[in-house]
Amino acid sequence: MGRTHFCLVPRGSSAWTIHLYESFFFGCIPVILSDYLDVPFQGIVDWPAFSIKWPENNVGHELLEYLRGIPLRRIADMKRELEEAACFFDFHRGWGLSHQTNPYTPYGRYGHWIKWKEEQVALGTDCPYVGHGDGRTLETCHRSCFERSCNLVNFNTQVKGGDCVLRRCSDPAQPSLTGGADGWQVWSMVNETQRQCSPYHAIFRQLNQRYWNRPVNHGPFWK
């Protein structure tokens, strides 16, 4: 699946099928072949931007010719949109970030500093080492990170003069953390999209949407 532009997503024993979720993580554009499937998070996720919903009765040569005729530029755009929306279907992301924020961060337009649990550090390959920063205070450590274009710091106040380790994570909203690190704190900088991009956050937004307004529906088919 990961080597193709499109993934066919036929209905299963019901309108729902697990292949729809799989397409997000294989990176292939889902072609939904289930007339009665009501895709989740409409109004939050722009489904027509990265997927195709095709009538079951028209599956055949017509569908093949349509897919062949999609320009490569549009395929690239759809894959980019698919990658950006994948976080709404990653249930490992938890309930959305609600950790303590740095009250004096001067980088609001770039994101917000989020504090993870103490006594932990980020050491995984998803957060490669950038360098050491100014560890005198947490604020100087964060400033060093900003100046070095990193997005996560391991900060230790128990070391004389402080210690500030700078890292750049592929996903600062979900770093791999290692426990048992006495005196260390982990802070990562995330933007508002990263903070809110989780399935649980989308569920609560949609419930609120249903309460106040009629939910958005993209219609029976799109392409």
Distance CA 158, CA 155 (A): 9
Q: Could you tell me whether strands 152-156 and 184-190 are parallel, antiparallel, or unpaired per DSSP bridges?
A: antiparallel
Task: Looking at the structure, tell me whether residues 72 and 115 fall in a common domain.
Answer: no
Q: What's the rounded Cα separation, in Å, for the pair 26 and 107?
A: 34
Pair 105, 187 in one domain: yes
Structural contact between residues 46 and 81, judged by C-beta atoms closer than 8 angstroms = yes
d(CA 141, CA 184): 13
Q: Can you read off the two tokens belonging to residue 213?
A: 């307004």
For residues 135 and 137, what is the distance between their CA atoms, to the nearest angstrom? 5
For residues 151 and 177, membership in a common domain is answered with yes
205 and 186: one domain? Answer: no
Tally of domains within the chain: 2
Residue ranges in 7-162 assigned as alpha helix (H): 19-26, 61-68, 72-85, 138-147
> Is residue 88 located within the same domain as residue 125?
no
What CATH number has the domain bearing residue 173? 3.50.4
Instruction: Give residue 133's domain range.
Output: 97-191
Residue type, 146: F
Is residue 202 a part of any domain in this protein? yes
- Contact indicator for 168, 128 with CB cutoff of 8 Å: yes
81 and 104, same domain (yes or no): no
Determine contact, residues 37/31, Cβ cutoff 8 Å: no
Q: Are residues 185 and 107 in the same domain?
A: yes
Does any domain span residue 85?
yes
pLDDT (tens, 9 = 90+) of the chain, 223 residues, equals: 657 899 999 987 787 888 888 898 888 999 999 988 888 888 888 999 999 999 988 888 999 999 999 999 999 999 999 988 888 888 766 555 545 555 445 454 446 788 887 899 999 898 999 999 999 999 899 999 989 989 999 999 888 888 999 999 988 877 888 888 889 999 998 876 666 777 887 888 778 777 777 656 667 777 7
Q: Please report, for residues 45, 49, 97, 130, 145, the alpha-carbon distance to residue 192 in angstroms, rounded to integers and kept in the order given.
A: 15, 21, 10, 24, 19
Half-sphere exposure of residue 1: CA atoms within 13 angstroms, side-chain side = 16
